[in-house]
Amino acid sequence: MKASERHGSLRARSAPASLARIAFASIASIGALSFGACKDDPGTPSGVPDANVPVPDDCVVDADCGFGEIDHEIYRAADCPCVYGCPYVPLSTATIARRQSQYDSTCNPQRDGEGQLCGIDDCAAPPEPACIAGKCTAARDDIDNQ
């Protein structure tokens, strides 16, 4: 058997193995993308609700509510958002404080969780918070006047 025939024979035998590896890598990548796209709860980076974290917008009275800027829990540096001082998410004051503490202890205020630089932004003041039907939201007067 000539050397060129041996190489051709090896190529023929390794092609199915290479195709199998490519197919496996493709399926694994699609699965990873699909898993990331199926997050049920934006409050947790993994998409799995954390039973130890209270519902972020539960309240009893208006004083339990405020507006926060961080819309999810921060468990690791990859979860860090850029914050601009523009609260827009109606949350309980306990959630706002917890997420701010997570941010302060985990995040670099100049970069997001992917290492990208954060920009500078101007924003409007949020409306007055209110507790309506046990959930933090904007006060009805603020909603009606817009």
pLDDT surpasses 90 at 60:
yes
Residues 127-141, mean pLDDT to the nearest whole number: 89
Share of the chain above pLDDT 70, in %: 61
pLDDT band of residue 124 (cuts 50, 70, 90) is confident
The one-character DSSP state at 52 is T
Q: Which of 2-6, 42-46, 71-75 has the highest mean pLDDT?
A: 71-75
Give the pLDDT confidence score for residue 130 in this predicted structure. 93
How much is the mean pLDDT over the chain?
73
pLDDT of residue 53: 80
Is the distance from CB of 48 to CB of 118 less than 8 angstroms?
A: no
Per the CB < 8 A criterion, the answer to whether 99 and 73 are in contact is: yes
* pTM reported for the whole predicted model: 0.59
Cβ neighbours of residue 35 under 8 Å, at least 6 residues apart?
A: 47
Query: How many angstroms separate the CA atoms of 90 and 94, rounded?
Result: 12
